[in-house]
A and B are shown apart, each in its own frame.
Chain A
Amino acid sequence: MDKFTKIMERKNMGTNFEATLRATLKSMGYIFPETDEEADNFLRYSKSKPLPEKFASPDFIFSDNDKTDVAYEKINTPKIKETETKWAIAARNGKELPQCILEKMKRDKENAKNK
């Protein structure tokens, strides 16, 4: 094997290792997964741990934090029914969606299929 071939072979080995390392790092969550396969591997292999208390619910999304650019005006919030409030609280506590919403989703899907 001549010197040039040896150099190229070593270079290819290095490149292949880097590509494999990159894929492994994505699966481990050290770099952002960008394909379904990488994301699936990450979800499968990473051990989830409890969230910090401040993120126990997604309420921060609706906070008046000036960092957010979400078009969300609490001032103009319409009054919501007591039962609806309970849905939101239930959802934020990780409970099921209300049955009527699930039924509506089902109907919408069936309607879309029938069109």
Chain B
Amino acid sequence: MEEENYNLKEPLDEDLIKLIKINNDKDSPIAMSALGKLYERYSKHLMILCERTTMNTSYADEVFQETWRRVYKYASYTSKSGKFFTWLSKIAKNVYLSIREKQLDIVNIEKFDYNNIPEKEETDTALPSLDQKLVEEAINKLSPQSKDVLLTYMQYAPSRNDHLPKDQIEILKNKYNTTSVNLRKIKSRAVQSIKDYIEQHR
């Protein structure tokens, strides 16, 4: 019998999710136990992600809690769709989108299909990474408005163009009482400011 794939002290994320899926309609201690293990592994990192992406403590708490509720409710993760934290991050993103959607009562945001997760896709060639310390410093020098606009573009605009989804443009326009043209300018200035900072300090 094959033994090498089993680690009884450290069960795989996928196995823990299976235990939740099988048992979570019965208030089962098994499901709670499995969830507790996943929570122990990933909750601290998820909280950091929520705090950084939302830039708002109450949103961060809400995204964090609702993400874990959905993990427990849907428990549909399999390793075919990639690693567990990637799945967790996608759920958190969807929860955050829903919260932003509620801000302006916007509908038609693409829904996350928890029961039909596409299999992992091959990604593009890895991009070189910038110095994280410098990026962190440069980001923290931006105004809250510039930071919000930049991160929204970076999060939601498909790569290499400036086309934000309409609902996200509406949220930002209303939030900062500005136009979509100005939003693009704010974003461009923020990118340039980060680029300049990195060039000056490396």
Which applies to chain A's interface (DSSP): helix, strand, loop or mixed?
helix
Size of the A side of the interface (Cβ < 8 Å), in residues, is 75
Which applies to chain B's interface (DSSP): helix, strand, loop or mixed?
helix
A6 within 8 A of B: no
Of the 9-residue stretches B2-10, B103-111, B171-179, which lies at the interface with chain A?
B2-10
Interface 1/0 per residue, B55-76 and A, CB below 8 Å: 0000001101110110011000
A34 within 8 A of B: yes
Q: B130 contacts which of A24, A49, A72, A85 (Cβ < 8 Å)?
A: A24
Are the CB atoms of B155 and A32 closer together than 8 Å? yes
A86, chain B: closest CB distance, angstroms:
8
Are the CB atoms of B26 and A51 closer together than 8 Å? no
Are the CB atoms of B195 and A58 closer together than 8 Å? no
Are the CB atoms of A109 and B127 closer together than 8 Å? no
Kindly count the residue-residue contacts between A and B in the assembled complex, taking CB atoms under 8 Å apart: 201
Are the CB atoms of B72 and A50 closer together than 8 Å? no
Q: B8 contacts which of A22, A23, A84, A106 (Cβ < 8 Å)?
A: A106
Q: A22 contacts which of B1, B30, B90, B159 (Cβ < 8 Å)?
A: B159
CA distance A39 to B127 in the complex (A): 14
Residues of B within 8 A of A110 (CB): 1-2
CA distance A58 to B85 in the complex (A): 17
Of all chain B residues, which has the CB nearest A58?
B39
Are the CB atoms of B8 and A99 closer together than 8 Å? yes
Residues of A within 8 A of B136 (CB): 28
Are the CB atoms of A51 and B47 closer together than 8 Å? yes
B130, chain A: closest CB distance, angstroms:
4
CA distance A65 to B68 in the complex (A): 13
B34 within 8 A of A: yes
Residue of A57, A58, A102 with highest tally of chain B CB at under 10 A: A58
B residues 28-52 touching A (CB-CB < 8 Å):
29-30, 32-37, 39-40, 43-45, 47-49, 52
Residue of B68, B92, B154, B159 with highest tally of chain A CB at under 10 A: B154
Are the CB atoms of B191 and A19 closer together than 8 Å? no
B169 within 8 A of A: no
Are the CB atoms of A39 and B86 closer together than 8 Å? yes
B168, chain A: closest CB distance, angstroms:
13
A21-B191, A102-B11, A105-B11 given. 20 additional CB < 8 A pairs? A15-B160, A18-B191, A23-B126, A28-B136, A32-B89, A32-B93, A33-B86, A34-B86, A37-B126, A39-B85, A41-B129, A43-B45, A48-B48, A77-B27, A78-B26, A80-B29, A91-B33, A92-B32, A92-B39, A101-B34
